[in-house]
Chains A and B, each alone.
Chain A
Amino acid sequence: MQSKSSKNSAESPKEMTEYYKHLSLFWTDIIHLMSSKPQALTSIGPMRSFAANSKKIAVELIEINENLVGFNQYITEYYKQLSNVWGIAQKKVNLKSPKIPQDVEQIEAMKRIWIDIFDNDFTELFDSKKFGENYGNLVSKELELTKHWNNITNVILQSVNLPSKEEIDEVYNEIHSLKKRVSKLELELKKEKRKNAK
C-alpha cells in the first residue's frame, strides 16, 4: 500500500477519488474487523451492523462525487449550447429589426420576429445530434446519481429490517406475472364460452 499512499498527491481527480475510496475502505474494514472480535462479548445486537453499513454508505458517497464531476461537465455543456444559440438568435433579431419600436404595431411585429427566430433556432438545436447526445449523457449521469441515492436508502431500509427496492421489485414482478397468467386464462375462458354459446 506504500505506493498508493505515496500517490496522495495524485495527478488526476480520478486517481484522487480512487485514493480516498481506498482510504475509506481500509479504515472501515479495519475498524469492522477489529470491532468484530470484542463485540462477541460486548455487542447487544443490531448495532453490530453499523460498521458494515457505514462502509457501504461511504463507498456510495465517494462514487456520487465521481458522478458529480461527469454531471457537471454535461450540464455545463447543456447551458453552453443554450446560451450560444440565444446569442446567435438575438443577433439575427437585431439585424431584422434594428430600430426601437415606436408604436403598438411595431412592438407586435418585433415580438413576432423575435419568437419566430428564437423558436426556429432553438428547435434546430434540440433537433441536432450534439444536443441529443449531450442531453442523453446528462440524463444518464442524473440517473447514476439517483442510483447511488437508492443504494444508500436501501442500506438504511435494511438496517431497520425493511425490504430493499430490489426485494420490493421482486414482489412486483411476481405479482405482475401472476396477474398476467390469470388474466390470460380468464380471457381465454371468456372466448371459449362465447364460442360454445354459438
Chain B
Amino acid sequence: MQNESRIDPKIIEEILKFSKNVIDAPKLVAAPDEINLEVTPHEVVQKIDKTRLLHYKPIIETKHKTPLLISYALINRFHILDIHPQKSWVRNLLEQGFEVYMLDWGTPTSMDKYLDFDDYVNGYLDSSVEYIKNQSSTEQISLQGYCTGATIATAYTALHPENVKNYIATAPVIDGWKDTTVISNLAKHMDADKMVETIGNMPPEFMYYCFSVLKPFEQGIEKYVKFFKNIDDKKYVDNFLRVEKWLGDTPPIPGELFKQWIKDIYQENLLIQNKMHVGDELIDLKKIDMPMFTQVAVGDHLVSPECSMPLHYAVGSKDKTLKIYPTGHVGMIASSLSQKKVLPEMGTWLAERS
C-alpha cells in the first residue's frame, strides 16, 4: 500500500469548479451575437459601394486643426480599433482632442471580385480624403494605416503626398520577403490566380485557417480554458468575447485585390523595391516625404517587425520616427499597453504636427 498514488484533493476541486463554470457560463455571459462592437458614437458621413466613412463624435473640444483618417486592415473589421470603451483606440484619440474618421471597407460580395488596388487607393481612400478636406476646409489630412490598411495607405501617400500632412504606419505589410510569419509562408506558396479564377473573392474560411495555425495550442485550447476558468471575472469575459467576436468576423477580400496583394507583396515583393503599380501609376516610396511615424510590435506573429520596418528606411521623409513596442499585433492597438504607451506617444507626436 506504500506505492499507492494519492490524488491531491485540490485537483478534484479544480475539475469540479471548472465543470461548474462551463455549466454556468450561458447564465453569466452574453452570447457574442448580443454584443455591440461599435462602442464610440459616430455617424456615417459617406457611403460608396460597400464602404462607409465614419466620423466619430468629439468627446472634448477638438484641439488640433488637421483631421485624422484611419485606414483599417482588409482582414477582420475595423471594430478592433474601438473594441471596448477602456481599450478603444478611437476613443483615446478623441480624448486627446483629435478629429477622427475611419474608413470601413465593408463586406464585399461576389459582385466585387474585380475590385483591385486602384479602386481601394485611388477610389475609396481618395474619395474619403476629398470628403474630409471639403468638410474641414483643410488642404491636408493626417493618415493612419493599420496592417494591410497601412499598405493601402502607403500606396496612397506615395501617389498623393500633397493630401497627407502626417503619415502613421502601424504594423504595415511592406517587405513580403522579409516577413518571417506563418502567413507569409502560406502566401508565398499560393496559386492566387487559380484561387481567384475558381472562387472569385478570397473566402473568409481561408483566413480562419490562417488564424488557426498561429500558436494553435495557446490560441486553440488554452485561451478557451482560461475563459471558462475566469467566467466570474466580468471585465475579462467581456473583453474576451469582444475580441473573439471580432476574430470570427472577417469579410472576403475582393479577388483582384487579393491576387495583386499576394503576388506583388509576398511573392514578388514589388512594393519595397519601388516596382509596384497601382492602376497605371508606379509606387515610389521616396515620394513619401511628409512627417512619418512607424509603429511595430516585437511579438507580432501576423506581420513581423522585419516586414514593417523597411518602410521607415525607404521613405523620403526627413522627419521620421520608428517606435518598437514589446507586444503583439493586436496588443499594439487594443490593450492597456496601447492606452498607456502606444497612443500617448503617437498622440504627442501627431499633436506637435497637426
Q: Show the binding face of A for B, using Cβ within 8 Å.
A: 100, 102-104, 107, 111, 114-115, 118-119, 122-123, 126-129, 131-133, 135-136, 139-140, 143-144, 146-147, 150, 169, 172-173, 175-177, 179-180, 183-184, 187, 190-191, 194
Which of A114, A129, A180 is in CB contact (< 8 Å) with B123?
A180
B49 touching A128, Cβ below 8 Å: no
Which of A107, A136, A146 is in CB contact (< 8 Å) with B189?
A136
A180 touching B217, Cβ below 8 Å: no
Q: What residues of chain A lie closer than 8 Å to B217, measured between beta carbons?
A: 114-115, 118-119, 122
B222 touching A172, Cβ below 8 Å: no
CB contact list, B253-293 vs A, under 8 A: none
B114 touching A172, Cβ below 8 Å: yes
* Shortest Cβ gap from A82 to chain B (Å): 10
Cα of A41 to Cα of B200 in the assembled complex, Å: 44
Given contacts A122-B216, A143-B199, contact A172 B5 (CB under 8 A): no
Given contacts A107-B11, A179-B49, contact A187 B130 (CB under 8 A): yes
* Any A CB within 8 A of the CB of B221: yes
A139 touching B195, Cβ below 8 Å: yes
A126 touching B185, Cβ below 8 Å: yes
Given contacts A122-B216, A139-B190, A139-B195, contact A103 B10 (CB under 8 A): yes
* Any A CB within 8 A of the CB of B346: no
Cβ-closest 9 pairs across A and B:
A136-B189, A176-B114, A103-B8, A132-B189, A126-B182, A132-B185, A143-B198, A118-B217, A104-B10
* Shortest Cβ gap from B259 to chain A (Å): 13
Tell me whether chain A's interface is mostly helix, strand or loop, or mixed. Answer: helix
Given contacts A119-B215, A126-B182, A132-B186, contact A139 B114 (CB under 8 A): no
* Any A CB within 8 A of the CB of B126: yes
Cα of A31 to Cα of B133 in the assembled complex, Å: 70
- Which residue on A lies nearest to B14, using beta carbons? A104
The residue among B180, B185, B188, B197 with the most chain A CB atoms within 10 A of its own CB is: B185
B11 touching A146, Cβ below 8 Å: no
Cα of A29 to Cα of B345 in the assembled complex, Å: 74
B114 touching A132, Cβ below 8 Å: no
Besides A107-B11, A115-B218, 11 new A-B residue pairs in contact (Cβ under 8 A), listed by A number:
A102-B8, A115-B217, A115-B221, A132-B186, A139-B191, A147-B197, A147-B198, A172-B114, A183-B123, A187-B123, A191-B130
* Any A CB within 8 A of the CB of B48: yes
* Any A CB within 8 A of the CB of B235: no
A119 touching B216, Cβ below 8 Å: yes
* Shortest Cβ gap from A98 to chain B (Å): 15
Which of A104, A129, A136, A179 is in CB contact (< 8 Å) with B190?
A136
CB contact list, B155-175 vs A, under 8 A: none
- Which residue on B lies nearest to A150, using beta carbons? B198
Q: What residues of chain B lie closer than 8 Å to A133, measured between beta carbons?
A: 189
Cα of A144 to Cα of B194 in the assembled complex, Å: 8
Q: What residues of chain B lie closer than 8 Å to A114, measured between beta carbons?
A: 217
A103 touching B11, Cβ below 8 Å: yes
